[in-house]
Amino acid sequence: MLQAVLFDLDGTMADSDPIHLGVFQVMLGEQGLVVDEAMFRDRICGRTNQAILNDLLPHFSQAEALAFSEAKEQRFRDLARSQLQPVAGLMPLLDWIQARGLGTAVVTNAPRLNAEFMLQGLGLSARFDHIILGEDLPRAKPDPLPYQTALDKLGLEPSAALVFEDSPSGIQAAVAAGIPTVGVMSNHGAERLLGLGARMAIANFTDPRLAELGLLT
């Protein structure tokens, strides 16, 4: 029986990835890198800034990486103030979850300031039982630890929860934690998400197939 629903944040609850893409295009462009949508999907989406910079700018010192990350996220927040929107169907789904007393958690690789900013901007700051940040843990997604931590805080077995995720790293983390997972097709097609272990791939939370999982019924 379903007892909790866990959500990623960027690209899952908020259509924020186009904003991140634009900022990375400008800032990595200043470093001589060309970022197109394919590169964003394959090497940036869903990863921590540390992992991204270790991959794309390995010559950066720790101080340079920190300065880049802080500047990037500030640019994101400045732009997102006027552009951030919830993914279609999210609010009715959260109302349905709350009405049934199900547990909830946000499990994200977003930096704390971004996570708090986005949840406040979406009016969701008080809607979740727990917020699990990858930066607070020894290992972030794609490691399963963030989702295992959410289960521990909720006191649940993996089979009692359901995850919504949009990125390959997030789906890998949730599946490795043993939690049934639904892929949200913000950046990746159904074939990619299902191939990573998602049980279903949806465009947004209005998909009528969610009833097959016992949701919105």
In this structure, what token pair is assigned to residue 6?
């866990």
Beta strands per DSSP E along 115-159: 130-133
Task: Tell me phi and psi for residue 10, to 5 degrees.
Answer: -60, 125
8: annotated active-site residue = yes
**How would DSSP label each residue in 8-77?**
--BTTTB--HHHHHHHHHHHHHTTT----HHHIIIIITT--HHHHHHHH-TT--HHHHHHHHHHHHHHHH
Q: Which of 8, 15, 166, 207 is catalytic?
A: 8
Q: Report how far residue 99's alpha carbon sits from residue 93's, in angstroms, rounded to the nearest whole number.
A: 10
Q: Which of 10, 15, 17, 207 is catalytic?
A: 10
In this structure, what token pair is assigned to residue 38?
């394919």
Which amino acid, residue 50?
Q
Catalytically active residues are 8, 10
